[in-house]
């Protein structure tokens, strides 16, 4: 198969979808890999390294002209023209928050497989997990930064110092993102509260962290109370493939302290905080009242070296299956089949259909 690796063009997105090691693996299996010149520079990977691995350096148009295109982020508007009915696209899509992209993929007839909906029998999301780990850890790091007074925050050191109360971190969601955010916040010495609807997950968090954090069942009154006292509020809610529920209302945000910070990692799926909106690494924050909001939709792009290797470690085995077997890889691997979001003008992700009122069919039926 001919595989294309275009350069990411989302604002300050420096990740790349394949390392030279991944290229070498595919080339040794008889595939052709077309890498857009400069695609890896943001992650510290040179064109020479890709050439040495067996890639052909090409233009953007040539990379997109491959049979299968492997990306990191969803196509942006200026890339819609590259979509076509004989293209297999393998990338993060987050379609429930991207109606225009959903329609563009359907209109073009593109077969699109979303990293974030590839799901194993145990319910885990192997291709979302590495970036969730990065984003969770970054959320606490970013929040601590914006709590500094020169950044518009309250002027709080999350861990405090002896004799001074530490900052309060409230985390909505105890999944992969929430667990990693909690790990970082506890490491800094903050007071940490984790809220989740799943009691078993809260029990797990309590056990893993040795009772050092506060676990709270997710109810509206509990969320309202916790938000009011948070110095840093981190949104980590995920419903696979679906739009995130708005757990924190604008009225709740009004009760937050001046200079407190909101970081909503769920922004890729629309966000779980009503006042959040997408931002970029170029302009990452804005104020609602006197509360700092951070809604960058590609947080891991700020640490591309770490993120690129973490992501491609997980995506490469699936890319190999698709390159070796084409659509038969979907039929043979149910986890990969669940990643199918669009095929030949048909929507195959019910959660996206629910978000936009579009009829969806089962992936197997579409194939």
> Nearest 5°: CA angle at 14, between 89 and 65?
30
Burial of residue 325, with CB atoms counted within 10 A of its CB: 0-12 exposed, 13-18 middle, 19 or more buried: middle
Two tokens at 222? 């509990």
CA nearest to 346, candidates 335, 359, 328: 359
Check 196, 264, 268, 343 and give the catalytic one: 268
What is the C-alpha separation between 29 and 87, in angstroms, rounded? 21
Q: How many CB atoms lie within 10 A of CB 165?
A: 9
Residue for token pair 């030279």: 20
333 is catalytic: no
> Nearest 5°: CA angle at 121, between 115 and 124?
50
* 3 state DSSP class of 167: coil
Burial of residue 220, with CB atoms counted within 10 A of its CB: 0-12 exposed, 13-18 middle, 19 or more buried: exposed
281 is catalytic: no
> Nearest 5°: CA angle at 86, between 81 and 91?
70
Two tokens at 115? 């990293």
Strands 346-347 and 232-235: unpaired
- Asked whether 83 and 75 are in contact (CB, 8 A), the reply is yes
Check 94, 196, 293, 343 and give the catalytic one: 94
What are residue 203's phi and psi, to 5 degrees? -60, -40
Q: Which residues are catalytic?
A: 94, 268
């Amino acid at each position: 198969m001919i595989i294309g690796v275009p350069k990411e063009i989302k604002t300050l997105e420096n990740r790349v979808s394949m390392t030279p090691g991944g290229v070498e693996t595919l080339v040794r299996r008889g595939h052709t890999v077309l890498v857009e010149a400069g695609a890896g520079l943001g992650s510290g990977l040179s064109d020479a390294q890709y050439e040495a691995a067996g890639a052909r350096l090409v233009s953007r148009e040539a990379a997109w002209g491959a049979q299968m295109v492997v990306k990191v982020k969803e196509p942006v508007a200026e890339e819609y023209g590259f979509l076509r009915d004989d293209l297999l696209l393998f990338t993060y899509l987050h379609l429930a928050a991207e109606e225009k992209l959903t329609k563009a993929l359907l209109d073009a007839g593109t077969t699109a497989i979303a990293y974030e909906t590839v799901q194993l029998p145990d319910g885990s999301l192997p291709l979302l997990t590495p970036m969730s780990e990065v984003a969770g850890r970054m959320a606490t790091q970013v929040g601590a930064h914006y709590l500094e007074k020169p950044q518009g925050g309250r002027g709080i050191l999350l861990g405090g110092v002896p004799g001074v109360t530490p900052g309060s971190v409230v985390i909505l969601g105890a999944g992969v993102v929430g667990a990693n955010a909690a790990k970082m916040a506890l490491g800094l010495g903050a007071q940490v509260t984790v809220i989740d609807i799943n009691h078993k997950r809260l029990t797990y968090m309590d056990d893993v962290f040795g009772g050092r954090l506060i676990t709270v069942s997710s109810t509206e009154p509990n969320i309202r109370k916790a938000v009011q006292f948070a110095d840093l509020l981190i949104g980590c809610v995920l419903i696979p493939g679906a739009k995130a529920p708005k757990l924190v209302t604008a009225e709740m945000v009004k009760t937050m302290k001046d200079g407190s910070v909101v970081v909503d990692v769920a922004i890729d799926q629309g966000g779980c905080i009503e006042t959040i909106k997408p931002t970029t690494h170029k302009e990452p924050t804005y104020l609602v009242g006197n509360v700092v909001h951070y809604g960058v939709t590609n947080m891991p792009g700020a640490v591309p070296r770490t993120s690129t290797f973490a992501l491609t470690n997980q995506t490469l085995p699936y890319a190999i299956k698709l390159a070796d077997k084409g659509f038969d890889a979907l039929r043979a691997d149910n986890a990969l089949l669940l990643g199918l979001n669009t095929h030949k003008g048909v929507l195959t992700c019910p959660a996206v259909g629910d978000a936009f009122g579009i009829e969806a069919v089962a992936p197997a039926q579409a194939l």
